[in-house]
Structure 1
Amino acid sequence: MKTAPRLLASALLVAVLAGAGLLAYQSLGQRESAPPVRYVLLDGANGDSSQWKGKVMLVNFWATSCTTCVKEMPQIVATHEKYKSRGFDTLAVAMSYDPPAFVANFAESRKLPFGVAIDNTGEIARQFGKVQLTPTTVLINKRGEIVKRYVGEPDFAALHGLVEQLLAEG
């Protein structure tokens, strides 16, 4: 009789582990959805994340006082220019502590070819997971799912490879 409860316990343990394994396997294919956000661009235009549907989006959190941000910006621009005709877009989100005049001057002097928003309240950074470190870059697929998060300067060759894959998706 001792073996029956032990056998039952073993069978139950195997069933629980198999179920947990199946759930873990299924969740591998699921991605976090990009949060719904609203923003105002430097030119005064209103934007929101619903406009990103069907596009591959690069959302870059940056600051004019961040040397890595300033260093990587030409590569962000080059990435935008390379893929914009294929359904790729970029949004540069200036951090709440960045003086608006500095952001506007930076965007104008460098002729940034994409939307620049100032996150005055910090709400966009909060929505994207309490972004505090700059640069932080988030890559979003056409379905609005976060595919990759970069803290610090991305490896742009790898980023371009990932963008190519995402643009090829249906």
Structure 2
Amino acid sequence: MPQKLRKILIPLVIIGLLAFLGFSLTQKPQAPAINFVTLEGKTIPLSSLHGKMVLVNFWATDCPGCIAEMPGLIQTYNAYKDKGFEVVAVAMSYDGIQQVINYSKNNALPFPVSHDSSGNAAQQFNDVRVTPTSFIIDKQGRIIQKLIGELDFGSLRKLLDQQLGTAS
């Protein structure tokens, strides 16, 4: 009897573990409960953006890839902001606050810009150290993509069209 029971239980336990593992791997992590403070001093709780697709972009004024992607980020933001898309640009702690302010003004960044002076935001987003690093957060507040390096704007627009129901 114990031998028969073992033959039945072991496969059931294995199937159960595999099902749990598969479920765990498909679950997207929730974005951290964080408040961004813009250069103007406005507080934006990330939770207040639920219901929108959000791109959190960690960048620096001395990062060539960050500077190269900014025009595309501005263009994408302007094209999708009225369709439920938000961008929060988070300047890294090592970036001088005055450099961030100057860059933001000189380039008329149309989305909220935050300076991560304490490094807290980078730490809450899995200890970001490389710029540019972007996180795409769905309408339910789950991180659905982490992208290191310059954004592929064709892929981003395709994703936004799918998620926002704006595909033509």
**TM-fit CA distance, 1:168:** 2.5
Does the residue aligned with 2:57 lie in a helix, a strand or coil?
Answer: strand
Which of residues 57, 66, 81 is equivalent to 2:63?
66
Which of residues 25, 31, 41 is equivalent to 2:28?
31
Bigger radius of gyration, 1 or 2?
A: 1
Q: Which amino acid aligns with 1:98?
A: D
Does the residue aligned with 1:149 lie in a helix, a strand or coil?
Answer: strand
How many residues align structurally? 166
The match for 2:44 is 47
Does the residue aligned with 2:118 lie in a helix, a strand or coil?
Answer: coil
The match for 2:82 is 85
Does the residue aligned with 1:138 lie in a helix, a strand or coil?
Answer: strand
Q: Which amino acid aligns with 1:76?
A: L
Give the aligned CA root-mean-square deviation in angstroms.
1.5
Does the residue aligned with 1:44 lie in a helix, a strand or coil?
Answer: coil
Deviation per CA, 1:56-97, whole angstroms, max 9, x where unpaired?
101000000111000011111111011001011100000000
Q: Which runs of 5+ in 1 are unaligned?
A: none
Does the residue aligned with 2:140 lie in a helix, a strand or coil?
Answer: coil
Stretch deviating more after TM superposition (86-95 or 25-34): 25-34
What TM-score results when the alignment is normalised by the length of structure 2? 0.93
Percent identity reads: 40
Cα distance in 1 for residues equivalent to 2:3 and 2:149? 53
What TM-score results when the alignment is normalised by the length of structure 1? 0.92
The match for 1:100 is 97
Cα distance in 2 for residues equivalent to 1:107 and 1:6? 71
**TM-fit CA distance, 1:47:** 1.5
Q: Which runs of 5+ in 2 are unaligned?
A: none
